[in-house]
Amino acid sequence: MKLGFVLAAALALWSGAAGAAEWIIDPANSLLGFEGKQGGAPFQGSFTRWSGKISFDPANPGAGSAVIDIDMKSAFTNSREKDEALPEADWFNAKAFPQARFEATSFRSKGGNAYEAVGSLSIRGIKKDVVMPFTLDIAGDRAHAKGGLAMVRTDYGVGQGTWKSGDTVALEVSVIMEIKATRKP
């Protein structure tokens, strides 16, 4: 009887150690955005509507995962012209593809507070494998992650017709993220 209890307790501890902590994103203090160039001048934008789930333990990053869903109609650059154009068919085609998704299937430690999220990015129905570097600082039950991903927008079909060449709008785009989260009790 005693041995059964000890085995059950050990199994419970092992199960808890193998899993990763769940984190609740604070969207009001987080940012999911992008940077590009138009006519050689840099511009920035962000998505005002997105949600996600994160499971992460710095002691076992390989067991972690994350899913971030982005409402492509919510792109905001503070430029009326860009904000009206981005959801349209030549750019995000938000009517046909209302959501983009970043999905990390695991994380890798790079030493110190540096990590990589290993997974995929799907935009306009095109899914590609990606590795996103980021830094992570955890203080108690609060986490602050900051990172980004360089990409070529046309790899995802973003920029059709006259926008495909990169003559007016650069092909290289940076995705930026800054996420603040609290460990789920």
Within a domain: residue 62?
Answer: yes
List of E strands, the chain? 21-25, 31-38, 41-47, 50-56, 65-71, 75-76, 99-111, 114-123, 126-139, 142-152, 172-183
In a domain, 39, yes or no: yes
Tell me whether residue 82 is in a domain: yes
What would the pLDDT profile of 17-64 be if each residue is shown by its tens digit? Answer: 346 899 999 999 999 999 999 999 999 999 999 999 999 999 999 999
CATH number at 25 reads 2.40.128.110
For 17, list phi and psi in degrees, rounded to 5: -70, -35
> 3-state DSSP call for residue 77?
coil
Q: Does residue 34 sit within a domain?
A: yes
User: Does residue 3 sit within a domain?
Assistant: no
Residue-level pLDDT at 8: 35
Say how many domains are in the chain. Answer: 1
At 95, the amino acid letter reads K
Write out pLDDT tens, residues 137-163. Answer: 999 999 999 999 999 999 999 999 999
Domain containing 179: what range?
Answer: 20-183
Q: Is residue 12 in a domain?
A: no
Residue 145 lies in a domain: yes
Cβ–Cβ < 8 Å for 146, 76:
no
State the pLDDT at residue 20.
84
Give the tens place of pLDDT for each residue, 67-112. 999 999 999 999 999 999 999 999 999 999 999 999 999 999 999 9
Confidence (pLDDT) at 19: 63
